[in-house]
Amino acid sequence: MELHEVNLICCKSSNCPTYQELNSTLSPKNIIAFGLTPKDIALPMLFPAFQIQSFENVKYTIAPLLEEIEQDKSLKMKLWGTLQQLF
């Protein structure tokens, strides 16, 4: 699979676009939310970090902040495993 387009959106949990806004604006196949919860983007479900969850034809993954991942080898390995599954 080729990576044709990547959109990077920076937000805090209090001002994030909802998953509906992201879907209608960007039509993503995958969304990786670093440092957020499903609730922060108004997803109507909860799931643990690094789990891939499909909803309305989009695959979602929640992960800790990149700063946390950078400091922890086990988190890096979990993120790498998830990215391999997504792409």
Query: Would the pLDDT of 6 be above 90?
Result: no
Report angle CA 17, 31, 79 to the nearest 5 degrees.
Answer: 130
The tokens describing 16, both together, are 């994030």
Nearest to 61 by CA among 74, 1, 80: 80
pLDDT tens-digit readout, 20-75: 999 999 999 999 999 999 999 999 999 999 999 999 999 999 999 999 999 999 99
pTM of the model: 0.88
Strand ranges, E, within 1-87:
30-34, 53-55, 58-63
Predicted local distance difference test score (pLDDT) of residue 68 = 96
Domain extents for the chain? 19-86
